[in-house]
Chain A
Amino acid sequence: MDKSELKTTAALARLSLGEGEAQKLTEMVDQMLSYFTKMREIDVDHLAPTTHAFQDENVVRPDEPGRNSPDELLDRAPERDERFFTIPNVL
């Protein structure tokens, strides 16, 4: 994976990286991706992917309200304006 690929990937993940950091991470990601090529050694094309741990289905809950304490959540806001969460946006 080259530097521009890393940049695209980091942007998708909203991870800003310092210069040295980017270099190190590219190497480590590359090492893992090379290792991942091992997965090609086994023939699995005939198998369906397992996306869920068990095949259980149709798990639903009734449309009934639960308790909620919104104020203790607002108290954890890094920044707020009355009842709003706020973020800087100098445009």
Chain B
Amino acid sequence: MNLPLFVPRRGVLLSLLLALCSLPVLADEAALSMDQRVAALEAYVTNTDPGKSLTGIPGPGHNGWMMTSSALVLFMTLPGLALFYGGLVRRKNVLSVLAQCLGIAGLVTILWWAVGYSLVFGRSFSGSGIGRFLGGTEHLFFRGVTSAPNTDYAYWVSQNVYAMYQLMFAIITPALIVGAIAERMKFSAILCFVTLWMLVVYFPLAHMIWGATGLMNGVWNPGAGITAIDFAGGTVVHMSSGWSALILCLIIGPRIGFGREKMAPHSMVLCMVGTGMLWVGWYGFNAGSAVGADGIAANAFTTTTLATAVASFTWGMIEKIFRGHASILGFCSGAVAGLVVITPATGFVSSTSAVVIGLLAGSVPYFFVSTVKARFGYDDALDTFGVHAVGGTMGAFLTGLFATGAVNSNLTSGAAVKNGLARLVTEGGLWREQLKAIVLTLLLAVAATYLLAYVVKAVVGLRPVPEVERQGLDLAEHGEEGYIE
């Protein structure tokens, strides 16, 4: 009569054992001990190396977060940036901005699938000198990019998910550039320029900073020549696009009527809606760069919030004090500036540092956008240089001052010990490596853009004819009107 009590328990134990035995990876791993397998599960929770067990299998939580983050970062471009920039241009050019974002999204995806992912995150070039600048060819056309993790970059995130996540960064970076040349560059010229720019600037730069064999990957490459750190893209995304934007806007020249005619934003409502989407999406950009749903992501989530809110408020208050009223554009610009400056630092710095960064982010770009731009008179239409170049450069440098192993132990262990980064983080001096990375990024962006702009100018031409520019790009280039009365 005790049987009913015992049979279920034995049955449960048996079922559990059977279930564990049926895991595919254990088909030829029958020798693994229970300790090893439990350790593997613990590694899933702590986002670390599972060793021999559970290899090739993504962890649901980490993978789920990264898929969400990917969607969030795409949301930043479509429609976040599209609306943010779209609201800032004149009515007759609103569709041109939307078209540029959509066109770049498709174009960059094709480039990424074909060559981009492999050139940035491959490793087949390592051993040759070129391996510091480009990854490899083993993943061309996404060969080998499956749902199994690529342990160069993550133990628990599918490689295809990681590739998609990084694709969203690759999309938004060139999309930022269009802010500087808004309302006066041909659609065909933009697509040509972006194609070349991705190959010459973005893929090499992203590999150098984030690739396993990259020259400037201080956290993960034990052989890094420059032990710089960049959590979510202060150099790769913001500096590259911002400085390139400046050169492009200088070469292309100002809009017709710049300085004389009224070129006010046609919809601050759309601009603000876009800003909100950028902020929310940026959680995927920053916290997702932890490549896992772990404590570092949690830190990034927090620092992102603090820096952005403080920066937005600061910018608004500066306007209130110096101009009499806080404007919507001020709050929006401050928020974006805060997001930009915290980007390289987000998973490396403390909450307090984030607040300090926010204060600087709300004030220094303000100065560039209002005073410096007016002084030098360049037509950086939507302030890509003032916010992204200045913010990204400042953020990259501040990261060198505020990064701490207390927040992110990867700074003081593993590869960081081998290449000297750990010592710089604990003893000081990281800012010198950051400066090297800053200079290299700046030189690459400026020199390459200078060259590519003239190539595109010669082959396709950069500006539309004056009549088209006057009429508005929407009708002539896209055959559509944004708002039909």
A complexed with B: no
